[in-house]
Structure 1
């Protein structure tokens, strides 16, 4: 069971994401919402780093960032560590848009959650807490000992 838990979890989460995306009209595309979320999570980030995180080319990422910038959701500023580079950061409008996207996508799932009994909802709430701890643990740098 433990061998398939990770793949099962990823599969179910991906299907829930698709369900939420299909059931709601977003103010921006899913890929752009995902990128905006990445920028929010990472903080000010270079385009090359965003491209690496998204497994795409730098020109592709530049185009995606430009769309978000034209919409007022991100801004560019000079990297204080390297004046030749720019950092992309989320704007207040981008934070507001992302918050609304999350609310709308969550609302698309709520009718299905409402069908669950209290015990299943409590189980899911606990699972969310566990997953948040997992993400916190994954973002904590680990030291390698020899």
Structure 2
């Protein structure tokens, strides 16, 4: 290997062409998440759920009952972290712990009616915020967002280790 080639960054394979798109998509997703988090608390001060708890509620809405260890694996978080979050959510009445129907020696977590209600209110508030933002775009931009949604959902599936695809 020549000294010049040692100092050059390695050339990337097929992803080199998509790097600018990936960088821009990362920036867009990061800014969108940050803006949503900030605006929801500004416009809806009652919304106090940390995003980690919202994400757990979303998983529990789809997969319930579930063991804390399985929930942690699904979210790629430490069991102790999820256990702490679940403890806070039990105290808040959003989830309940019960005997696992598959293994009576273990416990599983389920979403309570209050948890379902809180998650539904959170979703409505975000849909309202995003709907207002979409309404303020011109038709061309709204159409571009609509067109991009299926591909963005496919990207999410490709990145999600728990996705069936």
SS in 2 for 1:24: helix
Root-mean-square deviation (Å): 2.5
Scaled by the length of structure 1, the TM-score of the pair is 0.77
CA deviation after TM superposition for structure 1 residue 96, in Å: 1.7
Residue 140 (1) aligns with residue 161 (2):
no
SS in 1 for 2:40: coil
Residue 15 of structure 1 is matched in structure 2 by: 31
In terms of Rg, which structure is larger?
Answer: 2
SS in 2 for 1:13: helix
Instruction: Return the alpha-carbon distance in structure 1 between the equivalents of residues 148 and 51 of structure 2.
Output: 24
Instruction: Return the alpha-carbon distance in structure 2 between the equivalents of residues 15 and 41 of structure 1.
Output: 27
The one of 36, 40, 61 equivalent to 2:57 is 36
SS in 2 for 1:23: helix
Instruction: Return the alpha-carbon distance in structure 2 between the equivalents of residues 90 and 131 of structure 1.
Output: 28
- Give the number of aligned pairs: 141
For residues 57-102 of structure 1, what are the alpha-carbon distances to aligned partners after superposition, in whole Å with 9 as ceiling and x for unaligned?
A: 3222111101111222112222222212111121222122112112
Scaled by the length of structure 2, the TM-score of the pair is 0.70
Instruction: Return the alpha-carbon distance in structure 1 between the equivalents of residues 20 and 67 of structure 2.
Output: 35
Segments of structure 1 that go 5 or more residues without pairing to the other structure are 142-146
